[in-house]
Structures are given as structure tokens and as C-alpha cells.
């Protein structure tokens, strides 16, 4: 099977998701309405020094899609190169969210590198809904760390776990 015969009905939405925000959930929900199946692939990404373990990040996302009743979406984790993960899952579509123009350079670089490594792979960027365009995982961690309320930016399960995690760190 050559690359073009690989499945275009399944898309992988990769990220660190430390933690997932309503912005990520917006992308998952919309992608799940476009593709037959979405795999949300949580990267271990040690360079980002995540606050939540990979198991915690996976469990949060599982609970969220269960609560939202999104039945064509799976949550998984991966290590190593994303393109290899796609090959192993017999798909060639990567979904990423694009917020403001400052995301563009970063997304362009990742997409271009993935394309160099595996030319058959396509990256599809979904525009983040305007109301979530200013949310980022680091920002909500910073606000929580400084005692601010983040309930409007991430589901309660994540907001509560973040507060607890930060309290335990003190
Ligand atoms: N809504 C809200 N926030 C969003 C968002 C959206 N729709 N889209 C992106 N973001 C934010 C996140 O909150 C996060 O914020 P932060 O930087 O403050 O933490 C940031 O954008 C990006 O995080 P995330 O979406 O979790 O993904 P990532 O950029 O950390 O993921 C991988 C990068 C995992 C896709 C990439 O590192 C990878 O593929 N790694 C595997 C190894 C590999 O193949 N490397 C070569 C790739 S070229």
C-alpha cells in the first residue's frame, strides 16, 4: 500500500495537552464532525516538562469525550516521531488548531518537517473559535498558580486537578 492509499477518514490530533483546554476540546469536537474517526494522540513531550503525567492527561481527555458523548474519538498516547505513529495507525492526516497569527510560524515549521519526513502526510489546520483564541495551557497554569480562577478555560475536572496539583507542589 503506498501512502496515498492510507486512510483519509481517520485523523490524528496530536498535542501535549498539559492540560487540555476548552480550545483543544473545540478542535476535537469540530474535527469529530468532519472525519469518521479522530485519534487524540497525547505526546509524552519531556521537553515541555509537563505538570500532569501522560496517564493523567489521557484520562482527562477520555473523561471529557465521554461526557460530551463523542463516540468516534479515541484517546491514545505516543512516544517518538508523530509520523511513525500515523503510519502505525494507517492514516496520513494530522489535525492542529490555529489560534492567532503567532501560532502560524510554529505550525508551519512542524507541518513542513513532518512533510519532509513523510511526504504523503497532510496537516489540516482548523481555526480555533474566536472565544478560545487567547487560551493556552501555559496561561491557565500560570493563572491557577497565582490563585486566579480558570473554570471558564478548562473543564472542572482539569481546573480542580490543576489547583490540587499546584497545592501539592507547595
Ligand atoms: N486552543 C487552545 N490552545 C491551543 C490550541 C487551541 N485550539 N491549539 C494550540 N493551543 C496551545 C496549547 O494550549 C499549548 O499552549 P502552551 O504552549 O502554552 O502549552 C500550545 O498551543 C501547543 O500545545 P499543544 O496543542 O498541546 O501541542 P504541542 O505544540 O505541545 O504539540 C506535538 C506538539 C506533540 C504535535 C509535537 O511536539 C510532536 O509531534 N511531537 C512528537 C515528536 C515529533 O514527531 N517531532 C517532530 C515534529 S516536527
DSSP code per residue over the chain = --GGGSEEEEEEEEE--TT--HHHHHHHHHHHTTSSEEEEEEE--GGG--SS-HHHHHHHHHHHHHHTT-TTEEEEEE-S-HHHHHHHTTEEEEEEEE-SHHHHHHHHHHHHHHHHH-TT-EEEEEEPPGGGTT--HHHHHHHHHTT---TTTS-HHHHHHHHHHHHHH-
**pLDDT tens sequence across 105-159:** 999 999 999 999 999 999 999 999 999 989 999 999 999 999 899 988 999 999 9
| Cα–Cα distances in angstroms (integers) from residue 36 to residues 77, 121, 138, in the given order | 20, 18, 31
Angle between helix axes 156-169 and 137-145 (nearest 10 degrees) is: 50
Q: pLDDT averaged over the chain? A: 92
Does 56 have pLDDT greater than 90? yes
CA of 81 to the centre of ligand 1 (A): 14
Instruction: Identify the pLDDT of residue 8.
Output: 79
Burial of residue 119 (CB within 10 Å: 0-12, 13-18, 19+) is: exposed
CA of 70 to the centre of ligand 1 (A): 22
Burial of residue 148 (CB within 10 Å: 0-12, 13-18, 19+) is: exposed
Question: Scanning the structure block, which residue is given the C-alpha cell 469536537?
Answer: 29
**pLDDT tens sequence across 26-55:** 999 999 999 999 999 999 987 888 999 999
> So which residues are the catalytic ones?
24, 48, 99, 137
**Which residues on adjacent β-strands are paired with residue 78?**
43
CA of 15 to the centre of ligand 1 (A): 4
- Residue of the CA atom closest to atom 47 of ligand 1: 110
Does 3 have pLDDT greater than 70? no
- Decide whether any atom of ligand 1 lies within 6 Å of the 108 Cβ: no
Mutation choice for ligand 1 from 12, 13, 16, CB with most ligand atoms inside 8 A: 16
Q: Give the pTM.
A: 0.94
Q: Given the CA of residue 27, which atom of ligand 1 is nearest to it?
A: 7
CA of 68 to the centre of ligand 1 (A): 22
Amino acid at each position: 500500500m503506498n501512502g496515498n492509499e492510507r486512510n483519509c477518514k481517520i485523523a490524528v490530533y496530536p498535542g501535549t495537552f498539559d492540560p487540555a483546554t476548552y480550545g483543544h476540546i473545540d478542535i476535537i469536537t469540530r474535527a469529530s464532525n468532519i472525519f469518521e474517526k479522530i485519534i487524540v494522540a497525547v505526546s509524552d513531550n519531556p521537553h515541555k516538562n509537563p505538570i500532569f503525567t501522560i496517564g493523567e492527561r489521557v484520562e482527562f481527555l477520555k473523561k471529557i469525550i465521554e461526557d460530551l458523548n463523542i463516540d468516534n474519538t479515541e484517546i491514545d498516547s505516543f512516544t517518538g516521531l508523530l509520523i511513525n505513529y500515523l503510519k502505525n495507525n494507517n492514516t496520513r492526516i494530522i489535525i492542529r488548531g490555529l489560534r492567532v497569527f503567532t501560532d502560524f510560524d510554529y505550525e508551519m515549521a512542524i507541518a513542513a518537517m513532518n512533510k519532509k519526513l513523510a511526504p504523503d502526510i497532510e496537516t489540516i489546520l482548523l481555526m480555533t473559535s474566536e472565544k478560545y483564541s487567547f487560551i493556552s495551557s501555559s496561561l491557565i497554569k500560570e493563572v491557577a498558580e497565582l490563585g486566579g480562577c480558570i473554570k471558564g478555560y478548562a473543564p472542572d475536572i482539569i481546573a480542580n486537578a490543576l489547583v490540587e496539583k499546584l497545592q501539592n507542589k507547595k
